[in-house]
Structure 1
Amino acid sequence: MNIAFFLIPKKEVVYLNIKATMRQALERMEYHRYSAVPLLDDERKYVTTLTEGDLLWMMKNTPDLHFYNTETIRLSELNYHRKNEPIPIHAEMEHIISRAMEQNFVPVTDDQGTFIGIIRRREIIEYCANQLFAVKRN
C-alpha cells in the first residue's frame, strides 16, 4: 500500500522553525493542544520533533528560566531526548508501523529530504484494524 494515502500534507500540519523560541513553541503547542510538533529548518527540511518533555527538561535544567524569559531561548538550543526519524514518501507500510509504535506521528519527506507532511498513529491503527477485521471475515 502506498503511504501517500495516509499523508496529512504540510499545509495542514502545525510545525515550527528550528529558530523559533521556546515561548513561541509553548504557546503554539498549548493553542493546538499538541504534545509534539515537527521542527523544520529554513529550507523546509525536517530537523527533529519537539516534545513537551524537551521543553520541560530545558525548564528544569536551566536555572532562572521562567515562562516570561523563554522568548530568549531558541529551539535550536534545546537537547532533544528522542530522535523521531522521518521516512521517505516511498517507504513501505511495515516501516511506518514500527515507527508509529514509538511516536504519535511519523514525519514524511520527499526525495530531496523536504518535509511534506506526517502520518498519524491513528490512521496507521485504523489501517491495521481494517486489515485484521478483513482477515477475520474471510
Structure 2
Amino acid sequence: MNIAGLLLPKSIVAYLYDDFTLRQALEKMRYHGYTHLPVITRDNRYYGTISEGDLLWYFMDAGTIDLAKCQETRIRDALTLKHYPPVPIDMNIPEVVDLLVSYNFLPVVDDRDSFVGIVTRNKILKKLSDANHGDKKVTTTISYGNPSLFTPNI
C-alpha cells in the first residue's frame, strides 16, 4: 500500500512560500500552532522546512529581534532550511515509516516534483494501528528476561 491514501493535501496544509517574510512565517506558525512548516517556491517546488528554532537562531545570530527587519527579510534570504526529504506520492508505507522515525511529517511530491501535501507520523501510526487491530495482531504482553519477575505473588 502506498501513501496516497494518507496524504494531507496541499489545500488543507499550512505552508509558506520562500518569498514570505520572517514575520509572516512567525505569524503563520503561531496561528496554526505548529513548530515546523514546509516551505515551497512559487512554482510549487519543495524548498525546505522551517522551524521555530531556525527563527530563534537567526535572531540570536543577528543580536536582536528587529520587527522592521522581520517584515523586510525573506525566508529564502535569511535561513538555511532543514531539508525534510520529500517523498513520492506512490512510496510504500514501510519505506515512509523508516523515514518518519526521524521526522514528524514528510513533504510529498508528484511525478513532476511538485509539492502536493504532507504525510504525518500520526496518520501513518493510526493506519498501522487500525490495521493491527483489524487483524487481531495486538500484542498484549511483553516478556523481558526472567518471566518469574513479572508473576504476581499469590
- TM-score scaled by length of structure 2: 0.82
Find the residue that maps to 1:107 and give its secondary structure. strand
Distance of 1:98 and 1:83 partners within structure 2 = 16
2:38 matched to 1:30? no
Equivalent position of 1:136 in the other structure = 138
State the one-letter code of the partner of 2:104. N
Alignment of 1:62-81 (within 5 A): 62-77=62-77, 78-80=79-81
2:17 matched to 1:4? no
Equivalent position of 2:126 in the other structure = 126
Distance of 2:83 and 2:15 partners within structure 1 = 16
Deviations 1:5-24 (A, max 9, x none): 10011000111110111000
Unaligned runs of 5+ in 1: none
Query: Following TM superposition, by how much is the alpha carbon of 1:132 offset from its aligned partner in structure 2, in angstroms?
Result: 3.5
Alignment of 1:43-82 (within 5 A): 43-77=43-77, 78-80=79-81, 82=82
Q: Percent identity?
A: 33
Deviations 1:47-85 (A, max 9, x none): 1111111111111111334344311211002122x3201
Distance of 1:96 and 1:26 partners within structure 2 = 29
Query: Following TM superposition, by how much is the alpha carbon of 1:99 offset from its aligned partner in structure 2, in angstroms?
Result: 1.8
The answer to whether the Cα contact below 8 Å between 1:58 and 1:79 also exists between their aligned partners in 2 is no
Equivalent position of 1:96 in the other structure = 96
Distance of 2:71 and 2:95 partners within structure 1 = 37
Task: Count the aligned residue pairs.
Answer: 136
Q: Which has the higher contact order (CA 8 A, sep 6+)?
A: 1
Find the residue that maps to 2:56 and give its secondary structure. helix
